[in-house]
Structures are given as structure tokens and as C-alpha cells.
Amino acid sequence: MILRDFLTPLNDLEELCNQFDLDMRILQEIRTTRYLRGRSPVLKLGNINLAWEYAQSPADHHRFINMLRVSPEVFDVILSFIHDNPVFHNNSNNPQAPVQTQLAVMLYRLGRYGNGASLEDVARTAGISEGSVENYTNHCIDAIEDLHNIFVRPLTREEKEIEKKWMDEHLGFQGSWRDGWIMYDGTIVVLYSRPGLHGDAYYTRKGNYGLNLQVSTAEITLGNVFMPVYRSAMLHPIYALWITLME
């Protein structure tokens, strides 16, 4: 437009006003038009709503589980916990999809793998856009993460004692290890090559040769304060197992 006005300037005031009005309308149209060249809408005929039909009859619950990977009862429990989360509400004139639909799409997506987990395939099954699949998943994950403090917390001293007694009675592990909580963890430190001496003994379940790095923890009591004590060792896998059983 600037180049046009520069090359072919208008001298008449009325023509100049009309041209200016036309230019403003063109710019406004461009600004409010998503696709300048236009395109036909993408056909959406999803079947995710079949899940609600399957939920009606216990004989079809296995089909519901096949779609969403949880039973209708578990689905309802999750829905009841996240339904009022603010992430599902906004101030837009266009409200979000129902929470149960968003949860169903997320569960369907998380239950797929390989080619079936692609955004296009999930969107086609749900009858929505790929962007909506992403949004529904993010909304539900955010809402579930907000429940963390309800379901995950440190155990009390009394609850730990109950767990320790259960281990004493059912597994027979007693001794100094008893005051440890989640006592051992470890990882395989991969060796560069097979050791020359007893090399096969270093072969691990992960298909390599390595040493087992074990880290143990134990709680010691200082008055009313519990302090974790850590120690680690780089062990031959068989020796690490023997040490664990001996303790």
C-alpha cells in the first residue's frame, strides 16, 4: 500500500478518504482471517463416546477398559478428584470440553503405543483436533499432579513400625537392618569390557558387564531426631547379594 501510494499518489481528497477506508477494511479482514487461502474443514467423526455406552453394562466393561485402560469405577473416582480443578475453567465465552471427555482422551492417549499413539490417530478417534489432544492431556496431568500431597506423604513413626513388623513376621528378616527404611538401592556401573578373570560372573541381566553399586540407608536416633546414614560400596554382583542376605 505504501509503495502504491508512493508510485500513484491520489490528489483528490474524497478519493484519498475512500482509498484509506478500503485499506483499513482490507487490513482488518487480513487480521481476522486465519487462513488467507482458505481450506475445507477437517472431518471429525470420533468414537470416544462409545466408552460411555460400554460403561452402562457390566458385560461391556472389558471394552471400556480396553479403550481407557481403567474400569468405569476407577474412572469415576479420578473424575471426582479432578473435576473442580481450576485448570478446567476459564473466562472465555467458549467453555472447555466436559472434564470427563478430557480425561477420557488423556487415558486413551496414554494407553496407546507405537503408531497408535500419534496425535493424528488419537485426534481422529476422539473426533477433535491434534491441539485439543495436547491441551486435554496437559489439563488432566496438571490436575492429577495437584493431588500429590493428598496421596503422597512421609510415613509416621507408627506407620513405619507396622511395616517393619510385617517384614519380621512374613519374611523373617530381623537384625540391625530393621531400623533402615527403604534400605538398599543400587545401579549397575558398566565396565568397558569383559573382565579377564571370571568374566562371565560380571554379566548382568541388562546384557552388559558391570559392577553393582549399592547404597544403603539406616536411621539412627539422636534424642527425638532421626538422621539418615548413608554408605555405599562397589561390589561384585554375587558378593553384593551375599552381603545383603547376611545383614
Q: Please give the share of the chain, as a percent, with pLDDT higher than 90.
A: 37
Could you identify the residue written with the cell 500431597? 149
Domain spans, the chain:
2-32, 50-149, 171-246
Residue 49 vs residues 54, 57, 105, 126, 141: alpha-carbon distances, Å: 9, 15, 10, 8, 21
pLDDT tens-digit profile of 194-232? 888 888 888 888 888 988 777 665 554 444 444 444 444
Q: Which long-range contacts (CB under 8 A, 24 or more apart) does 45-50 make?
A: 45/127, 46/124, 46/125, 46/126, 46/127, 46/128, 47/125, 47/127, 48/101, 48/104, 48/105, 48/108, 48/125, 48/126, 48/127
Write out the DSSP string of 133-185. HHHHHHHHHHHHHTTHHHH--PPPHHHHHHHHHHHHHHH---SGGGG-SS-EE
Residue 236 has pLDDT above 80, yes or no: no
pLDDT tens-digit profile of 138-152? 999 999 999 998 888
182: left (phi over 0), alpha (psi -120 to 50) or beta: left
137-160 b/e with 16+ CB inside 10 Å = b?
bebbeebbeeeeeeeeeeeeeeee
CA 221 to chain centroid? 38
Give the pLDDT confidence score for residue 167 in this predicted structure.
Answer: 79
Higher pLDDT among residues 202 and 186, named by residue: 202
Residue 47 has pLDDT above 50, yes or no: yes
Dist CA 50 CA 54 (whole Å): 6
Residue 87 vs residues 48, 74, 215: alpha-carbon distances, Å: 22, 21, 40
Of 54, 48, 103, residue with least CA distance to 80: 103
Strands (E), the chain: 184-190, 210-222, 225-235
Dist CA 109 CA 99 (whole Å): 15
Q: Please give the share of the chain, as a percent, with pLDDT higher than 70.
A: 78
